[in-house]
Amino acid sequence: MADSDQSLDDLSAEDRKKVQELMEKDQKSERRVAGPWLWLTSGLAALMVLLYFYGAGFQALGTQYHLGIYVLITFVLVFLLYPAGGRVAVGGMSILSAALLSVGVSSFLLFDSPAEFYGQINIFRETWEYDGLSEALANDFGNLRWTLMLIVPFAAVMLPLDQWLARRFHNAPTASDVLMAAGIALMVLYWISQFELLNYRAGAENDLDKLVSIIGLVLSLEICRRVLGWSLTIIGILMLAFGLFGPHLPEIIAHRGFSFERLATALFITTNGVFGIMASVLATYVILFIFFGAFLMKSGAGRFFIDLPLAVAGRSAGGPAKVAVISSALFGSVSGSAIANTVSSGAFTIPMMKRAGFKPHVAGAIEPAASIGGAFLPPIMGAGGFLMAELTGLSYATIMLLAVGPALLYFLSVFFMVHFEAKKRGLIGMPGEALPDWRHVLKTGWYFSLPLVIITVLMMMGRSPGNAAFWATVSCIALSWVNKETRMGPKEIWEAIQIGAKNTLVIGATMGVIGVIVGTISLTGMGLKFADLVISLAGDSMLIAIGLIAIASLILGLGVPVTAAYLILAVLAVPALGALGLPIIAGHMVVYWLAQSSNITPPVCLAAFAGAAIAGSDPWKTGWTSMRFSKMLFVTPLLFAYIPAILLDGSAFEIGTAYFSAILGTIAFGALAMGYLRRNTKVHEWLLLGVATFLLYWPTFLTDGIGLAIVALVWWMQRDAKQTPAAAAA
């Protein structure tokens, strides 16, 4: 399932290495398997893509097959394609595998079945609880001691075997990897085969249900650790501890507590945990759009997404930076990752910005600041948009309609900040002879926009998002044949299938832990407790509540991907905003926007670090500069809260007035954020711009008139401005 990232081809070998190293920090490095392992993983990847395209285009699968097959293939591929880590991690997996082997062997050799094995554990535990450990060891330990003893010889074999395989065949799975892949496959197959019976006996699970749940839950946590590291996994473990030790916690978050068995069964074999909302949204919507993005890029659309912004904006002041903003909007509309978006378009735009006079840290900051806007822009808003539709009960077409205006405001803000920054430094546009002609670009590449049009039109007609993605993907293959250089034959289609399937694994690996977190919150009632806490701290102030949620999103973003951060905050924080009177969709939009902040806000800011790697600049300086260009990220949630018409809640006149005011306010905000209108603003001019920005955002003709008058006053006060020579952007 190898994938050569064509977007990096224009970088030097040194810069390409920096970017790849950074991306590997964001997600653990994937094995480049070969031989039989390549055949197996490629076959599973193709099965996933073809099966779910068939389900979206023709005949949907039953619930247990729809969720179960996706979880099964994803988890097996993760164990086969992602190594456990260093020597210590490999050793830990060897011991875990030895324990699994011991359970499996003793269940059939020492007991009649796995159910009897687990039943004996229950008897031992109950005797320990009521009669003491010595009594339990004397009377009820029995064959369990042999189960424990078997771990030693199995570990003695697995430890050296895995270490040798990891050294000798580092691009192939170890014995433990294969064993755990088989183990999780058996657990998921049990869930699929017993789906109806599990629903029937919910709350009265048998011993085998409990054993399967415990093993499945442990392996689900390991899958997340392999791909995303310890941060999110530790949060999942802490949530399990929260569920276990509820009575011993501080009163404000205390609950009655649950046994580990109860937690495991609730979080694995029901549809409230691993097979819950995250798995459902991924299998139903998200993976289909990830597949679509792979096919669209393979069809040659990437070049069009760069050439069109070049032709349109390249000549204006700071042209390359404006190209970055527009191309990021285009790339972001089909990309699920701010880092991937930064790399894809930044490989072209960041070197151009540096050549135009922007200092490296500024060039490296503008691209990620623009790239995160792709998460807001329809038709593909990333996984969060589909989760929002599921959580609010609104159609995804409605979510798109509500999201497009605020997304365009975000790009408008970055565009004007870039414009004022370029004017501030005296930077001019690119020479006309170096740019493509926009007529030629449209004439030769206009059809690349058709797949996005197809998605939008079909969803507006009432088709499901999955069905729209299916037909848009088919159109990518057909449209690639317009130009003989981009035609997709069997080889290119196979490569797109492999790229698409591989790109789903990172977000798919979060299913288990997110299921644990969301399921535990639901089981313990933590969502309501958190809402009460926010309301008590905010003192019924919407502004303070949003500020607290912004802080929570920043803290959560230190170790959690943005989609996971949104889902966790949606479960915890939206009820608090609702209690303060905010409509549910506005609450979700507030949380969704704030959850994106970790991509550009130090100390994490992985998207900004990716831009720094390409620009060859200091990552921290780039991160803070990127935050400077992304300030609209923190303003828009306030618009959602205080101006309902921004989310189309109002009459046509109110909506039109709100957006007219928002456009004026966003332009003024760009000048305020950059400290420049016709020249660098003085303190009193900057304060006047701040007042004007506030008035312009408030949607009345009176406040707009006063705000425009203040901006005009500042413009007149800066009439002494002189054109400065081109200078490096600071």
pLDDT digits (tens, 9 = 90+) for 633-666: 999 999 999 999 999 999 999 999 999 999 999 9
Which tokens in the block code for residue 257?
């507590």
Q: Are 339 and 607 in contact (CB under 8 A)?
A: yes
Location of structure tokens 């205080």: 642
Confidence of residue 41 (pLDDT cuts 50, 70, 90): very high
| Residue 291 falls inside a structural domain | yes
The span from the CA of 67 to the CA of 61, in Å, is 9
380 SS3 class: coil
Side-chain-side CA neighbours of residue 685 (13 Å): 20
The span from the CA of 364 to the CA of 625, in Å, is 9
**Long-range contacts made by residues 681-684, C-beta under 8 angstroms, separation at least 24?**
681/714, 681/718
DSSP conformation class of 255: -
436 versus 504: the higher-pLDDT residue is: 504
Query: How is the chain split among helix, strand and coil, in percent rounded to 5?
Result: 75, 0, 25
729 SS3 class: strand
Omega of the bond leading into 160 within 30 degrees of 0 (cis): no
**Which tens digit of pLDDT belongs to each residue from 148-157?**
889 999 999 9
Q: What is the CA radius of gyration of the chain?
A: 27
The span from the CA of 152 to the CA of 729, in Å, is 64
Kindly provide the b/e burial profile for residues 236-259, where b requires at least 16 CB atoms within 10 angstroms of the residue's own CB.
beebbebbbebeeeeeeeebebbe
Q: What is the pLDDT of residue 29?
A: 67
- Does residue 15 surpass a pLDDT of 60? no
Angle (nearest 5°) at CA 671 between 665 and 675: 140
| Residue 488 falls inside a structural domain | yes
**Which tens digit of pLDDT belongs to each residue from 82-107?**
999 889 999 999 999 999 999 999 98
How many domains are contained in the chain? 3
| Residue 633 falls inside a structural domain | no
The span from the CA of 212 to the CA of 190, in Å, is 8
| Residue 610 falls inside a structural domain | no
Across the strands, what pairs with 709? Answer: none
**Long-range contacts made by residues 475-483, C-beta under 8 angstroms, separation at least 24?**
475/450, 475/451, 476/292, 476/295, 476/296, 476/298, 476/299, 476/301, 476/451, 477/295, 477/299, 479/299, 479/447, 479/448, 479/450, 479/451, 480/298, 480/299, 480/300, 482/447, 483/300, 483/444
Instruction: Select from 272, 282, 213 the least CA-distant residue to 505.
Output: 282
Q: What is the pLDDT of residue 341?
A: 74
Tell me what percent of the residues of the chain surpass a pLDDT of 90: 45
The span from the CA of 426 to the CA of 730, in Å, is 12
Domain, as residue range, for 363 = 279-385+393-398+405-511
Q: Are 531 and 521 in contact (CB under 8 A)?
A: no
The span from the CA of 526 to the CA of 571, in Å, is 9
Q: What is the pLDDT of residue 27?
A: 47
Confidence of residue 42 (pLDDT cuts 50, 70, 90): very high
Location of structure tokens 């497009």: 404
**N- to C-terminal Cα separation, the chain:** 42
| Residue 81 falls inside a structural domain | no
Q: How large is the angle between the packed helices 584-594 and 632-642, nearest 10 degrees?
A: 170
Mean pLDDT across 172-189: 96
CA 255 from centre of chain = 31
**Quick one: how many helices (H) and strands (E) in the chain?**
35, 0
Angle (nearest 5°) at CA 70 between 66 and 74: 175
The span from the CA of 157 to the CA of 165, in Å, is 12
Q: Are 515 and 275 in contact (CB under 8 A)?
A: yes
Together in a domain, 333 and 455: yes
Mean pLDDT across 119-132: 84
Tell the burial category of 322 from Cβ atoms under 10 Å away from its Cβ (0-12, 13-18, 19+): buried
The span from the CA of 663 to the CA of 646, in Å, is 11
Q: Which residues contact 319 (CB under 8 A, 6 or more apart)?
A: 313, 356, 428, 429, 430
Instruction: Give the domain-ending residue among 147, 169, 191.
Output: 169
Which tokens in the block code for residue 248?
């011993």
The span from the CA of 476 to the CA of 292, in Å, is 8
**Which tens digit of pLDDT belongs to each residue from 221-237?**
999 999 988 888 999 99
CA of 214: how far to CAs of 75, 110, 230, 718, in Å?
16, 20, 20, 69
Instruction: Give the domain-ending residue among 511, 537, 567.
Output: 511
Q: Which residues contact 66 (CB under 8 A, 6 or more apart)?
A: 55, 60, 283, 284
For the ranges 170-174, 516-520, 526-530, the lowest mean pLDDT is seen at 526-530
Q: What is the pLDDT of residue 635?
A: 94
Q: Are 242 and 529 in contact (CB under 8 A)?
A: no
Together in a domain, 164 and 285: no
Q: What is the DSSP string of 525-585?
A: THHHHHHHHHHHHHTT-HHHHHHHHHHHHHHHTTTS-HHHHHHHHHHHHHHHHHHTT--HH
Instruction: Select from 417, 457, 418, 404 the least CA-distant residue to 659.
Output: 404
Helices (H), 27-62: 35-57
**Which tens digit of pLDDT belongs to each residue from 595-616?**
888 777 776 677 888 888 888 8
CB atoms within 10 A of CB 563: 27
231 versus 53: the higher-pLDDT residue is: 53
- Does residue 4 surpass a pLDDT of 70? no
Give CA torsion, residues 208, 209, 215, 221, to 10 deg.
Answer: 180
CA 527 from centre of chain = 22
The span from the CA of 312 to the CA of 323, in Å, is 8
Instruction: Give the domain-ending residue among 129, 144, 169.
Output: 169
Q: How confident is the prediction for the chain on average, in pLDDT?
A: 87
676 SS3 class: strand
- Does residue 483 surpass a pLDDT of 60? yes
Instruction: Select from 432, 433, 329 the least CA-distant residue to 375.
Output: 329
Mean pLDDT across 482-509: 90
600 SS3 class: coil
Q: Are 640 and 678 in contact (CB under 8 A)?
A: no
The span from the CA of 61 to the CA of 50, in Å, is 13
Confidence of residue 2 (pLDDT cuts 50, 70, 90): very low
The span from the CA of 301 to the CA of 289, in Å, is 15
Mean pLDDT across 451-459: 90
Q: What is the pLDDT of residue 555?
A: 80
Mean pLDDT across 30-49: 93
Q: Are 368 and 338 in contact (CB under 8 A)?
A: yes
| Residue 479 falls inside a structural domain | yes
| Residue 518 falls inside a structural domain | no
Together in a domain, 329 and 472: yes
Q: Are 56 and 4 in contact (CB under 8 A)?
A: no
Helices (H), 446-489: 450-460, 465-479
Mean pLDDT across 169-179: 93
| Residue 605 falls inside a structural domain | no
Instruction: Select from 619, 579, 566 the least CA-distant residue to 360.
Output: 619
Mean pLDDT across 125-139: 81
680 SS3 class: strand
CA 605 from centre of chain = 14
Q: Are 590 and 577 in contact (CB under 8 A)?
A: yes
Type and span of the H or E element at 440: helix 438-445
CB atoms within 10 A of CB 445: 20
**Which tens digit of pLDDT belongs to each residue from 525-583?**
888 888 888 888 888 899 999 999 988 888 877 767 788 888 888 988 999 999 999 99
